[in-house]
Amino acid sequence: MGHECSSIELTDDGILVGASFNNGGRMQERKLHCGLLLGADGARSKVRELAGISMKGERDLQQLVSVHFVSRDLGKYLSSERPGMLFFIFNPDAIGVLVAHDLEHGEFVLQVPFYPPQQMFEDFSAKVCEQIIVKLVGWEPADIQVLDIKPWAMHAEVAEKYVGCDNRVILVGDAAHRFPPAGGFGMNTGVQDAHNLAWKLCLLLNGIADPSIIQTYESERKPVATFNTELSLENFKAAMSIPATLGLDPTIANSVHRVINSSLGSIIPRNLQKVVLEGLFSIGRTQVSDYILSENNPLGSLRLARLRSILDEGKSLQLQFPAEDLGFRYGKGALVAEDCAESTYQAEDLKHSKRSSGEYIPSAKVGSRLPHMLVRPLSASSEGVFSTLDLVSGDKIEFVIIIAPLKESYKLAQAMLRIADEFELSSKVCVMWPQGSRDVEAKGSISELAPWTNYVDVEEIPRATVNSSWWEMYQVSNRSVILVRPDEHIAWRTEPDMVRDAYSDVRRVFSQILSLNRPQV
Ligand SMILES: Cc1cc2nc3c(=O)[nH]c(=O)nc-3n(C[C@H](O)[C@H](O)[C@H](O)COP(=O)(O)OP(=O)(O)OC[C@H]3O[C@@H](n4cnc5c(N)ncnc54)[C@H](O)[C@@H]3O)c2cc1C
């Protein structure tokens, strides 16, 4: 909106934010007084800098130029000859990664590594970029049009704190973490941050939760970012195994660059250093010439065999991460830790499960995402099939309680409904009936849950391939009572036998979940 955060100053009751803007060629600053400032201002976050929050991890792994261009000619050629999304191009003239955003309209973004100070961003004019594209493509598309050229640096870092300045400044997205773009974690992790923070801000601003709830944003999200940073770095290194096998090890290029910086840096002029560097890189790139990289050349043949085995064994860049996308758990934060020993954060678990299987194994453990299963309303008059995920309301803050239709579970659900009413929290019970209940149990839970009406009776629809109940599939007893937070994560799971006094135990759980400190509670 044409404004840039340029200063911050803490006041007794908030934060004074300076927002600079261009007023007819003159920069001016407008002051805004706020309760909270969300720094969602990207990898080079000014808000982070102003709040004095530092980053931890590996810096400046690589400098790159991003070239946004269009060429219908190239799009047409790739669509018919080599359809794909990501093209890692290594040839004796140039190296780059081409991302096809839209083959039909010929829209691409090219990533080219560069090595300052010998090579500077300013060297990459539109003309130079066009020449690089032609070298990479190997022929001259007629209609290349460069739209934008931007530099960026690859880091693997996470902010030391997500919340600073007396809980007044909160970092979100790239401002809080910056990863190598390997695996698609950057924006996705940022969207998850926003999702996590949004409902907590809502509770805070509506006076339902104590300000301490904001700290749970950090304790929940930071471990995920740290984990994803390592994963992206690992994945980036796996991707680099391809050029390394071809004799183009990027770590060697970086070492050559370092040597030039340290040995020639102070002796010979910059433009000569540039010639030396580019000369060495050009010699390096001959490793992928037809002469060397050929089945007739013993070295080339060995490299090609290694390359095939990396690709066959799937040891290069990974792009599917269901376990990491869905399988992380928050063990510390806005959920109950006490009496939930199993909820301790299992980053090690995740690390283990992820690379050994790579699969997402849904679970009903505390902290995990509510597992999906198709269900349908029990009442014969209601039609339609939906997912257990649809039980979580999209438009209001509502807790969901899942039980099986068992006497003891109903009792616990009644206690939960009573306490939710008392706390003025929206809640809903889902009674999960086994398959085949639809015809025999037409009345559902009315006799057990009336006078409450905020419940739904559903019948499980097991998958064709797995004939297990929802409870069996997610390895929990059907005596379990599951409490789901508004953000789709399981907040608490218990069995009636584990509860000493339904009313006071559930009351304690709700207070802990929401860090409720209102006087009447
Ligand atoms: C080559 C590449 C490929 C990628 N591929 C993927 C992918 O496949 N999947 C994925 O999930 N992620 C990917 N990412 C990462 C993704 O682009 C980022 O994680 C995401 O854009 C971060 O979003 P953000 O809103 O936090 O920050 P940004 O998108 O950087 O937005 C920050 C905004 O803040 C504004 N701003 C900056 N300073 C100020 C200020 N002082 N005051 C006010 N406003 C300010 C900026 O103008 C900008 O609009 C990739 C990144 C790169 C570089």
Question: Domain end: 129, 159, 189, which one?
Answer: 159
Give the pLDDT confidence score for residue 352 in this predicted structure: 44
Atom of ligand 1 nearest to the CA of 185: 11
List Cβ neighbours of 217 (8 Å cut-off, separation of 6 or more).
162, 163, 170, 193, 196, 197, 200, 333
Q: Report CA(255)–ligand 1 centroid distance (Å).
A: 29
The answer as to whether 180 is a domain residue is no
Question: Is the distance from the beta carbon of residue 180 to the nearest atom of ligand 1 less than 6 Å?
Answer: no
Contact present, 62 and 113 (Cβ < 8 Å): yes
The answer as to whether 261 is a domain residue is no
The answer as to whether 203 is a domain residue is no
- Return the best residue to mutate from 41, 50, 88 for the ligand 1 pocket (most ligand atoms within 8 A of CB): 41
Question: Is the distance from the beta carbon of residue 41 to the nearest atom of ligand 1 less than 6 Å?
Answer: yes
What tens-digit pLDDT sequence spans the chain (521 residues)? 899 999 999 999 999 999 999 999 999 999 999 999 999 999 999 999 999 999 999 999 999 999 999 999 999 999 999 999 999 999 999 999 999 999 999 999 999 999 888 888 999 999 999 999 999 999 999 999 999 999 999 999 999 999 999 999 999 999 999 999 999 999 999 999 999 999 899 888 988 788 888 999 999 999 999 999 999 999 999 998 988 898 888 777 777 788 777 776 667 777 777 777 777 778 888 888 888 889 999 999 999 999 999 999 988 888 889 888 888 888 777 765 445 444 444 444 554 444 445 678 888 888 888 999 999 999 877 779 999 999 999 888 899 999 999 999 999 999 999 999 998 889 999 999 998 887 776 688 999 999 999 999 999 998 877 778 889 888 889 999 999 988 888 888 899 988 889 899 888 888 877 765 543 33
Radius of gyration in angstroms for the set of CA atoms belonging to the chain, rounded to a whole number: 28
> What are the phi and psi torsion angles at 365 (to 5°)?
-70, 155
Give the pLDDT confidence score for residue 63 in this predicted structure: 93
Question: Is the distance from the beta carbon of residue 154 to the nearest atom of ligand 1 less than 6 Å?
Answer: no
3-state secondary structure of 126: helix
Question: Is the distance from the beta carbon of residue 187 to the nearest atom of ligand 1 less than 6 Å?
Answer: yes
Domain span including residue 99 = 55-159
Atom of ligand 1 nearest to the CA of 5: 42
Contact present, 132 and 126 (Cβ < 8 Å): no
The answer as to whether 232 is a domain residue is no
Question: Domain end: 134, 159, 184, which one?
Answer: 159
Own/partner contacts of 2-9, CB < 8 Å, gap of 24 or more, are 3/30, 4/46, 5/37, 5/39, 5/41, 5/46, 5/47, 5/50, 6/46, 7/50, 8/37, 8/47, 8/50, 8/51, 8/165, 8/169
Cα dihedral 206/209/211/217 (nearest 10): -100
The answer as to whether 507 is a domain residue is yes
Decide the pairing of beta strands 86-90 and 145-159.
unpaired
Give the pLDDT confidence score for residue 344 in this predicted structure: 43
Q: Report CA(169)–ligand 1 centroid distance (Å).
A: 19
Q: Quickly list DSSP for 26-69.
A: EEEEEEEEES-EEE---TT-HHHHHTTPPEEEEEEEEEEEEEEE
Question: Domain end: 142, 159, 176, which one?
Answer: 159
Give, rounded to a whole angstrom, the gap between the first and last alpha carbons of the chain.
42
Residue of 363, 390, 379, 387 lying closest to 471 (CA atoms): 363
Q: Report CA(164)–ligand 1 centroid distance (Å).
A: 21
What CATH number is attached to the domain comprising 418?
3.40.30.120
| Pairwise CA distance, residues 323 & 363, whole Å | 11
How deeply is 45 buried, as exposed, middle or buried, from its count of CB atoms within 10 A (0-12, 13-18, 19+)? buried
Q: Report CA(42)–ligand 1 centroid distance (Å).
A: 5
| Pairwise CA distance, residues 456 & 449, whole Å | 10
Give the pLDDT confidence score for residue 516 in this predicted structure: 56
Q: Quickly list DSSP for 375-409.
A: EEESSTT----EEGGGGS-SSS-EEEEEE-S-HHH
Domain count along the chain: 2
The answer as to whether 77 is a domain residue is yes
Question: Is the distance from the beta carbon of residue 188 to the nearest atom of ligand 1 less than 6 Å?
Answer: yes
Question: Is the distance from the beta carbon of residue 40 to the nearest atom of ligand 1 less than 6 Å?
Answer: yes
Give the pLDDT confidence score for residue 440 in this predicted structure: 75
> What are the phi and psi torsion angles at 456 (to 5°)?
-140, 135
The answer as to whether 506 is a domain residue is yes
Question: Is the distance from the beta carbon of residue 96 to the nearest atom of ligand 1 less than 6 Å?
Answer: no
The answer as to whether 164 is a domain residue is no
Residue of 332, 325, 323, 329 lying closest to 489 (CA atoms): 329
Question: Is the distance from the beta carbon of residue 110 to the nearest atom of ligand 1 less than 6 Å?
Answer: no
DSSP 260: I
Atom of ligand 1 nearest to the CA of 173: 26
- Return the best residue to mutate from 5, 187, 324 for the ligand 1 pocket (most ligand atoms within 8 A of CB): 187
Q: Report CA(89)–ligand 1 centroid distance (Å).
A: 25
